[in-house]
Amino acid sequence: MVRPRNFSAGPAQMPEDVLRSAQAEFMDFAGTGMSVLEMSHRSDAYRRVIDAAEASLRAVLGIPDSYGVLFLQGGATLEFAGIPMNLMRRGRAGHIVSGHFAKVAAEEAAKYGSAEILATSEPTGFDRIPDLPSPEAFAGMDYGYICQNNTIYGTMFHELPDCGGTPLVADVSSCFLSFPLDVTDYGLLFAGAQKNAGPSGVCVLVVDRSLVEGGPALGVCPTYLDYSTQLAKGSMLNTPNTFGIYLCGKVFDWVRGTGGLEAMGARNAEKAALLYGAIDRSDLYRGCAVPSSRSVANVTFRLPTPELEREFVDRAAEGGLVGLAGHRLVGGIRASIYNAVGIDAVRDLVAFMESFELSVTGRSF
């Protein structure tokens, strides 16, 4: 069976090795005679699965012991509420609004305290990362908040804001494990797994333990979202997404086995350069993001008309290149070139873009 070239923004392509490995173990996991789907989350066999997943993530990211790791349900979206409820001890957060998920997170946080917008690129249609606020702007805040890669608009922070000692909270859903990062630059980072880390239904959260010691900031915080309790319970306050965490562990192992984050970052940079190079050479395709803010993970571009964009998406799909329609909020084209999307897929996409341009304009690039 030929698998399609899958450029979906999420749930996204998984590494084929991960799928095959899970398939091989599906009916009988590690000699238990059971599927991982069927075993108690309190069993020794499952304990080993979740412990190994955490250990693998710690190895990949170099997470120090002073940071806890959680595997939660509710996606990245639930943490838009969980973060203020846990961290807003003074009732103030400084948000940088660089796209849809950043805006939604600020709106959610505003239910629990003062979510102050320190910078926004909404006036230019989220085509860039806004100019970063000065460190002083974060004074007196519980945390600064960013969405590090803007999945819908195709922009990314290439440098983190200096929060002047105030902890930085980052939604890294669509750039998680895409390149090396220093966990200690963050107070908390979190990622919905379905972009780069596994299946939907798992949110990976890494938090500086000192920020959540003594319980959540707000008494109304649901016990499920109380990070200190979840840390004490090893993400097992209730039944976790057992199979999802198992698959995340396999993805973490795959990242390690393919050279870790340095190698992943180099491959992703090469993939992105190929695609942006094609956009920049072309007369037909226009990149959406200003070049200095371009994402390595989600490449967004437009054609002259929505009709041509539809034709592009349809003809690409006929050729086995799927998942290229832009987000429904913005339209256009979006190629998500996450970790599991190989360079060959990107080469095929560029070749298709050249042939499509030739067929429309009579010129190639």
Residue 84 or residue 278: which is nearer to ligand PLP going by CB?
84
Residue 126 or residue 352: which is nearer to ligand PLP going by CB?
126
In whole angstroms, what is the distance from residue 275 CA to residue 337 CA?
10
Q: Which residues bind ligand PLP (CB under 6 A)?
A: 10, 75-77, 101, 147, 151, 171, 173-174, 192, 195
In whole angstroms, what is the distance from residue 16 CA to residue 302 CA?
30
Residue 75 or residue 167: which is nearer to ligand PLP going by CB?
75
Q: Of the candidates 158, 161, 187, 191, which has an alpha carbon nearest to the alpha carbon of residue 57?
A: 191
**Shortest Å, Cβ 287 to ligand PLP:** 19
Q: What is the CA radius of gyration of the chain?
A: 21
**Shortest Å, Cβ 116 to ligand PLP:** 20
* Cα 245-196-8 angle, rounded to 5 deg: 120
Q: Which two tokens stand for residue 88?
A: 């807003």
Residue closest to ligand PLP when measured from CB atoms: 75
**Shortest Å, Cβ 147 to ligand PLP:** 5
Residue type, 82: G
**Shortest Å, Cβ 9 to ligand PLP:** 7
Residue 5 or residue 195: which is nearer to ligand PLP going by CB?
195
**Shortest Å, Cβ 81 to ligand PLP:** 11
Residue 21 or residue 77: which is nearer to ligand PLP going by CB?
77
In whole angstroms, what is the distance from residue 320 CA to residue 324 CA?
11
DSSP string, 253-320: HHHHHTTHHHHHHHHHHHHHHHHHHHHHH-SS-EESS-GGGB-SSEEEEE-SSHHHHHHHHHHHHHTT
In whole angstroms, what is the distance from residue 76 CA to residue 32 CA?
33
Residue 78 or residue 211: which is nearer to ligand PLP going by CB?
78
Residue 86 or residue 173: which is nearer to ligand PLP going by CB?
173
**Shortest Å, Cβ 201 to ligand PLP:** 8
Whether the Cβ atoms of residue 164 and residue 22 lie closer than 8 Å to each other: no
